[in-house]
């Protein structure tokens, strides 16, 4: 996912949604959010871990939305909302493969609404985005 690793930090305004990470679907591919599923009572879905931090290394509190969007960003389909506290451990939230797929030139995006004004410090080593996807080519 692209998440500003070589870009500037992202200033967040409390209560305002911002795109903080994305992946573009390349030519002749389909990408689904998540990986695996529950089969025969065995939960093999992949865990999601997201911890975006400020310059002090503190996790920024807020709500993440996982969504699909078209190439122009004019149509967005939200799959789910999750709190930062639940995503920070990487052991609480599982994301199985979603039946909806991102098609060529479309995106899977992670949107974030911070609880208060903060700045994501992308140069800080404590930032983590571990987001499972399934790719079909």
**Cβ-based burial of 54 (10 A; exposed 0-12, middle 13-18, buried ≥19):** middle
- The predicted pLDDT at position 6 comes to 55
Q: For residue range 16-46, what is the model confidence (pLDDT) as tens digits?
A: 999 999 999 999 999 999 999 999 999 999 9
Q: What is this structure's pTM? A: 0.91
List the domain boundaries for the chain: 10-136
Which tokens in the block code for residue 137?
């080519």
7 has pLDDT over 80:
no
For the segment 85-101, the average pLDDT, to the nearest whole number, is 95
Looking at CATH, the fold of the domain delimited by 10-136 is given as: Jelly Rolls (2.60.120)
Q: Which residues contact 44 (CB under 8 A, 6 or more apart)?
A: 36, 37, 38
């Amino acid at each position: 996912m692209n998440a500003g690793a070589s870009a500037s930090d992202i200033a967040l305004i409390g209560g305002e949604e911002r795109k903080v990470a994305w992946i573009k679907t390349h030519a002749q591919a389909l990408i689904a959010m998540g990986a695996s599923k529950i089969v025969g009572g065995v939960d093999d879905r992949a865990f999601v871990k997201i911890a975006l931090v400020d310059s002090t290394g503190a996790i920024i509190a807020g709500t993440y939305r996982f969504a699909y969007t078209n190439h122009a960003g004019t149509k967005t389909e939200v799959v789910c909302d999750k709190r930062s506290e639940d995503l920070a451990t990487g052991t609480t939230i599982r994301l199985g493969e979603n039946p909806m797929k991102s098609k060529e030139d479309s995106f899977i995006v992670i949107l974030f609404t911070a609880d208060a004004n903060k700045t994501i410090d992308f140069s800080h080593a404590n930032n983590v985005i571990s987001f499972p996807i399934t790719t079909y080519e």
